[in-house]
Structure 1
Amino acid sequence: MPTTGVPTLRYWDGTAWTEHVAPAQQYVSPAYAARPAGPTTPDGVPLASYGARVLAQIIDIVVLVVPSLVLTLPSQVDSQERLQNLSDRYLTSTSPDVGAYWHGYVGVLRDQFAGDAWVTVIGFLYIVLMLRWKGATLGKLALGLRVRLREQPGRLPWGAIGIRVLVASGLAYLCTLTVLTGSLALTVVGFLVMMVFGFLDVLWPLWDGKRQALHDKAARTNVVSVR
């Protein structure tokens, strides 16, 4: 029998060994072969990749932001005109008052926020109700992703949904309120904190062994792949 470095099997015809040989195949247990190659939940469901999560988020932004921009276009145009007039008066004034300019700026934002508050409410309800109903937003559904508790499958409880959404978006809502207080210092600090936390939250799954964002850790959830 030639030596090729590949293990072979020689066939027995019942009375003697034949000249017929074939490569030996390593037996692999079906249970082992079915195991996902990457990280999983404790019960073996594969975790979503970072790229899939980002793409799902982009889809959700398109789903939410584009219609909102169209529907709020009149108020945006009005606010831009008011801000432009405010800036023109400030720049042409012989004694510009920074405090008066800031209060005027906040007034414009307050009016726009009050008029378009329904957009924030719809966005909040969209995420909360989709997570409760389908376990995923439209972006995640399109990519075969679902959100579940890390330690157990099943429908997400309201408490986990609330924690997840508030940790992910609560600072954005809070920063809007800091603008409405009229305090420039508080607004600047609020936006800096929001940007740093948001940046870390988005990037956290890249180095986290459980592929959890910070809002996942707070809610004890995982984004999993069901395809």
Structure 2
Amino acid sequence: MSFGDPNNPYGTPPQQPAQPGYGYPQQQPQPGGYPQAPQGVPPQQGYGYPQQPAQAYPGYGQQQAYGGTPPYAHWGLRFLATLVDGLVFLVPYAIVLIGAAAGENAATILSLIGGVAILAVAIWQLIQEGKTGQTIGKKALGIRLLRESDGRPLGVGMAFVRRLAHFLDSIACYLGWLWPLWDAKKQTFADKVCGSVVVKG
């Protein structure tokens, strides 16, 4: 008696094609040590795939990393920011003026309070500009003071040196203050000496 195939009298079923499984060679790793993604499916970032490069410092630094031109702040924005910073001192300065017009005892007290307030505001503005690149005026106008080399804030010490360097902007008939009007990087003389730029953002 035979089953199925007449040439197979013992009825042994025909062998099926071998299926891949245990004991069979697995897919070879691709060059670089990363597994190959299924055909037609784009590789996703994650385990086993190359990671994306870290993003550059936001704003100025990022544009520098990709070869873009930093958005330098024009002279008008810088002037308005300086004007706003000046208005911040208006209240403590008014206290000093009121003290000067008051009686002898009141004048001494109010002048002392106003002087301390002016000094405190000036120090606070300097610290903010050094650490974040923005004073109250710069923040209001959306501009920022940064190092030209890497797009980072100047630091408090260098921000103080830059303020002293504004002396150079004044000695030549205040030409340095107007220099950003035609300078390619919108820099004053103090900016060029300290390696700083003022940018939007």
Query: Normalized against structure 1, the TM-score is what?
Result: 0.49
Cα distance in 2 for partners of 1:194, 1:217 equals: 11
For structure 2, the 5+ residue unaligned runs are: 1-62
SS of match in other structure, 1:45: coil
Note the residue ranges of structure 1 that are not aligned, 5 or more in a row: 1-39, 82-110, 172-192
Deviation at 1:222, TM superposition (A): 0.4
Distance in 1, matches of 2:169 and 2:144, equals 26
Structure 2 counterpart of 1:181: none
Task: Find out whether 1:57 has 2:55 as its counterpart.
Answer: no
Aligned residues: 132
CA distance in 1, matches of 2:176, 2:76: 15
The equivalent residue for 1:15 is: none
Shift of 1:197: 4.9
Give the equivalent residue in structure 2 for 1:128: 126
Higher helix share: 1
Per the alignment, residue 106 of structure 1 pairs with none
Contact 1:160/1:220 (<8 A) preserved: no
CA distance in 1 between partners of 2:133 and 2:169 (Å): 26
Q: Which has the higher contact order (CA 8 A, sep 6+)?
A: 1
What residue number does 2:176 align with?
201
1:97-132 deviation per Cα after TM superposition (whole angstroms, max 9, x unaligned) = xxxxxxxxxxxxxx9xx9464255224303311112
CA RMSD of superposed structures (Å): 3.3
SS at match of 1:148: strand
Contact preservation (8 Å) 1:46, 1:224? yes
**Sequence identity, in percent?**
27
Q: Name the amino acid aligned to 2:144.
A: R
> Of Structure 1 and Structure 2, which has the larger fraction of its residues in strand?
1
The 5 Å alignment of 1:145-160 reads: 145-160=143-158
**Mapping of 1:48-127 within 5 angstroms?**
48-64=73-89, 66-77=90-101, 115=112, 117-127=115-125
**Which of these two proteins has the greater Rg computed from alpha carbons?**
2
Q: 1:158 to 1:69 in 2, by over 3 A?
A: closer
- After superposing the two structures, state which structure 1 stretch, 143-152 or 159-168, moved more: 159-168
| Conserved? CA contact 2:170–2:176, under 8 Å | no
